Amino acid sequence: MRGTQTLPERVRARAILLGALLMPIHSYWISRIEAIVYKGGGGSTSSLIWTSVYNMTALVLLSRLARRWRPAWALSRAELLAIFAMFNIAAAVAGHDLIQILVPLIAYPLWHASPENDWAQTLLPFLPDGATVTDRLALAPYFQGESSLLHAEHLRAWLLPVLNWTGFIAVLLIVALGINVLVRKQWTEVDRLSYPVIQLPLHLAAPTRAFMLDPVLWAGFATTALLRSVNNVNRISPSFPRVPMSYDFGGFFMESPWNAVGWLPFNIIPNYIGIGYFVPLDILFSCWFFLLAFKSQMVLGRVMGIRALPGFPYSYEQSSGGYLALGAIALWLTRKHLRRVGGMLVSARGEPEATEYRVAAAAVVLGFVGLVLFGMYLGMGAWVAAAFFGLFYVIQIAIGRMRAEIGTPLHDLHFGGPSTLLVNALGSTRLSHTSLIGLTQMWSVDRAYRSNAVPHQLEGLKLAERVNAQRRGFIIALLVGSALSGVFAFWAMLHQSYEVGIDNAAPVNRWFGYEAWARFQRWTSQRVGTDVPAISFSLVGFVATLGLMVARTRFVWWPFHPLGYAISGSWQMTWGWGSFFIIWAVKLVILKHSGIQGFRRATAYFLGLLMGDVFVGGTWTMVGIGFRLW
């Protein structure tokens, strides 16, 4: 009957408990394949994390069986998606750009202090108690392996650093969750942003017969399944044929000035292609266009002989300015809603959402103060810590908006975060020695922004809206996931590190620790002032992004999107631009010759591509690593 509304689905406490119990397994697996072995697509750096989809689908199948034999044990669609959101947070925190950097970072200084680097005088005395490991005997088996975390002396050595850093991670994510709750209604219900990344989980959480029997879906599934299977058999037996999925275009440019292009791979990445199908055409075009534009700037620099600017064209700096501009644009577009929220916070009227907003705002304010205090504990001045976390959350707002609006498969922002911006702007001479130490210890949340739990929180809130779930239950699930993810990630990483030994694991573990503290060494040994070229190019990126947005709003025909410019100057777009070009060309042909009906019909094929990548590619990864096939 028209006007009737179904009651929102509850997310029961037992579903949240189940998600919390399964999170350590997820954290363990992510650490295993990304940090210890590093041989098989952990997925934490992708917008759609395959391990989360894989595990949620296993729960869907178990729930279907339970519904037949024990109906009370079955999980609703809302509960399955709430657990999926918890899996995403667990994977992101345990992933390549957080715990996998943080653990080597806090173990590195004491173990690698030497007369050559003079850290016994310049670093170790300035590290606060409880921020790093101070027991060298407990660190020896961490690096060498064949031991166990559960030895009393190992637990004692790591206890205080783990407590401090897991508390930091929890507060960092709870503040982000508060921000996401405050902007949710505007972005989800008013702007009706599409959130493309959630399309496949939505379908798989409650698959319909029509969806599962669609031959177009299975054609896409078969495409990825065949590619993954053939190439993984080739990894096991090199004599077996393989399908080339990567080409180095940089090899075609051998002479100056063209060889300034450098590394230019053209990679066919099913995950990027599948998600990219749901990205607007102008953004797909802008991504590969601006990547090639950045490469052209490198050639131009060689032609003009710009040797006084060794970092030209400062693409990372341009990207960082672009991200800040995108964050400012997102806040500007949300300003009226935030003004209404502010009115609710001080109003005596009992609006339905007022309590939710008050709790979220309190979490943001109190949590931000706590983060500043933690930064001061690490050695930063109060204003340095406040500036760092202020810039950090502006970048997070930009990433959340881009994920909600266009579902970009990547947003890495390598080496362009707040610590880089602050040192470029102020110079190491204007920052105290302890502030530089504190900024160095933020490298685990500032090196890159791929393994990022914040947009997954926002997508979780959108999932609640799409399946008509009680938002309170979803928020509690996200809160529990955010609070516990650091504990589980530390356990997974340390447990395996003591068994295998970091010196025997993937080299990236040693590199992350070295990279962070070598950066500190450069800052302190070569005290410099403001890096005028670097900060100028960040300003160029900021202004260019704003200019592209103005042009986009003024001219209907304008082909360039500011988001494409902002995300194209970093490392991961160099890796993935080929896939963006492929899906741009395919989507252009489909829309031109088949229209919107053809686009909708082909949607199933690209969902199938993603499914094949998740289930066949994921199974190969687990089998290959589990049985040590490669």
| 167, burial (CB in 10 Å: exposed 0-12, middle 13-18, buried 19+) | middle
- CA atoms within 13 A of residue 442's CA, in its CB half-sphere: 33
β-sheet bridge partners, residue 469: 9
Length of the chain: 630
Rounded CA separation 599/587 (Å): 8
DSSP assignments along 491-542, one per residue: HHHHHHHHHH-GGGS-THHHHHHHHHHHHHHHHHHS-----HHHHHHHHHHH
Rounded CA separation 108/143 (Å): 10
Rounded CA separation 358/378 (Å): 30
Report yes or no: 345 and 178 within 8 Å, Cβ to Cβ. Answer: no
Nearest residue to 401 (alpha-carbon basis) of 545, 543, 602, 559: 545
Nearest residue to 228 (alpha-carbon basis) of 211, 578, 236: 236
Report yes or no: 436 and 522 within 8 Å, Cβ to Cβ. Answer: no
Three-class SS state of 44: coil
Nearest residue to 344 (alpha-carbon basis) of 368, 369, 363, 361: 361
User: Residue 500: left (phi > 0), alpha (psi -120 to 50), or beta?
Assistant: alpha
- Give the chain's radius of gyration (CA, Å): 24
The 8-class DSSP code of residue 625 comes to H
Q: How many contiguous H segments (helices) and E segments (strands) does the chain have? A: 26, 2
Nearest residue to 290 (alpha-carbon basis) of 573, 23, 540, 582: 573
SS3 content of the chain, % helix, strand, coil (to 5): 75, 0, 25
Report yes or no: 85 and 467 within 8 Å, Cβ to Cβ. Answer: no
* CA torsion angle 419 422 424 427 (round to 10): -110
- Distance linking the first and last C-alpha atoms of the chain: 59
Q: How many CB atoms lie within 10 A of CB 365?
A: 12
Nearest residue to 407 (alpha-carbon basis) of 284, 296, 324: 284
**10-residue stretch averages of pLDDT, the chain, 630 residues long:** 66 97 95 82 84 96 92 94 98 95 96 94 96 96 96 97 98 98 94 91 94 97 97 94 94 90 94 94 95 94 83 94 97 95 84 89 98 98 98 98 88 94 96 97 96 96 94 96 98 97 90 95 92 96 97 93 93 93 97 95 97 95 84
Backbone angles phi, psi at 266, to 5 degrees: -115, 100
Overall pTM > 0.85: yes
CA-to-CA dists, residue 128 to 118, 124, 132, 157, 536, angstroms: 18, 9, 8, 14, 35
Go through 404-420 and write b for each residue having 16 or more CB atoms within 10 A of its CB, e for each that does not: bbbbbbbbbbbbbbbbb
pLDDT given at position 308: 74
